[in-house]
Amino acid sequence: MDIIQNAINGQRVTSKSSNKVPVFNPATGEQSAELPLSSVDEVHAAIEAAKAAAPAWGDTPPLKRARYMFRFNELLNQHADDIAREISKEHGKTHDDALGEVARGIEVVEFACGIPSLLKGDFSRNVGPSVDTVADRKPLGVVAGITPFNFPAMVPLWMYPVAIACGNTFVLKPSERDPSAPMLVWDLFKEAGFPDGVLNVVHGDKQAVDALLDHPDVKAISFVGSTPIAEYVYKRGTDAGKRVQALGGAKNHMIVMPDADMDKAADALMGAGYGSAGERCMAISVAVPIGDKTADALVAKLKPRVEALKVGPASDSDAEMGPLITKAHQDKVLGYIDEGEKAGAELVVDGRGYAPQGYENGYYVGGTLFDRVTTDMSIYQEEIFGPVLSVVRAQDYGEAVKMINEHEYGNGTAIFTRDGDAAREFADKIEVGMVGVNVPIPVPVAYHSFGGWKRSSFGAHGMYGPEGVHFYTRLKTITTRWPGGIKEGAVFTFPS
């Protein structure tokens, strides 16, 4: 049985903790590894290693830091298949889906390779007589990241490449459900030649999270997970004086206008609703067709597609969707389907009781489609995080927009239409952080930034891109005047 190790100060080390949890292969339900949950002292050791490495790394020229990133990027590309296999083994997503995750993480590493340009300051000459001003961005020191199970490689790569390129050192606390992929990526990081202590990885539960949130040497925390935990991390971290970005849950809607291409809209909903078994914060879980005629046409297109959805293990090259992450989460999703049916939603396709032959102990739920869902139902209000798509019929565009704007989450949304006026109005007025027009999963590319609104995000900065550079640095302005420009005598008025 594999024992998952920590990585502290450039070395893999086995935790001394007697508190261990199993790691499962969700496709089979079999245990694949054992994970010790790190003690507070072990978390502190990782922080101390990062603190010791921070001064020299922060003083390393940005161009040299970028060269390390170039080597890391090259190794990630060479080992993308290996990383994807580790993801599939412990998360359950298909190999192609896992490869897509790795690719989106690598994009941020590519962005971080441009750090010499990204950290260029501003300079103004002669802001006053013989007075110049420079604006510069400085690293924070030790920063940390707490990442979710649904993207065990991508989300860490959304955090620490930018943080480290900016001159910080990093402590990563990955999900305990699928820890092998981030450890393989750490091996590649070390192979790229980064100094010891620049990136440390500790595994653990709430005790490890609290140790990071409370430690005075950790200056900033990045988090991705559920909204209740995001809110907790934000409050506890900011109470401790830290800079915090905490990304939470979502309930993403896609409006389908009467003029939309129904085949394209249905295909988009299939990928956005059922890809990765719906375990994405940017999954579309609510389709909002405008008018009953549009709704009837959309459901007619969706029903056979959902029924034909190929669900199976990652080892099946034909599989379009894999299992859910754990037995507990499988039970939770099945419970939501029960609730939706009891509440009166029309169950068009029922994914309960699904199990591929030979994988009866895996954590599978088949594609599920509800029609005539109403906004008072739990399957509408709450994030299911599973392969469940709800169709909520709106009688007009205004009703659909009101529905989205009144929801507590504001992560992502989309509209499918041929009408440029409607699309522009939607993009401008909708109260959601990431908007797609005929794009179902509008995750920004690496040189923009990722971030939702309302209870989908806590903190002022988005993740990666320019927002990431600003989050992981602080502004310093330096105003200078040399003696030759100084007039005799003291000045007691405010400088202007």
Q: Which of 4, 87, 209, 281 is catalytic?
A: 281
d(CA 100, CA 146): 21
281 is an active site residue: yes
Neighbour-count burial of 14, counting CB atoms closer than 10 A to its CB (0-12 exposed, 13-18 middle, 19+ buried)? exposed
Of 47, 29, 27, the C-alpha closest to 38 is: 47
Q: Which two tokens stand for residue 302?
A: 């969706």
d(CA 287, CA 283): 11
Per-residue b or e along 231-269, where b marks 16 or more CB atoms closer than 10 Å to that residue's CB:
ebbbebbbeeebbbbbbbbbbbbbbbbbebebeebbebb
Of 283, 264, 273, 286, the C-alpha closest to 394 is: 286
Of 16, 18, 23, the C-alpha closest to 2 is: 23
Range 265-269 contact pairs with CB under 8 angstroms and sequence separation of 24 or more: 265/298, 265/301, 265/416, 266/298, 266/301, 266/302, 266/305, 267/305, 268/414, 268/416, 268/438, 268/440, 269/302, 269/389, 269/440
Residues annotated as catalytic are 281
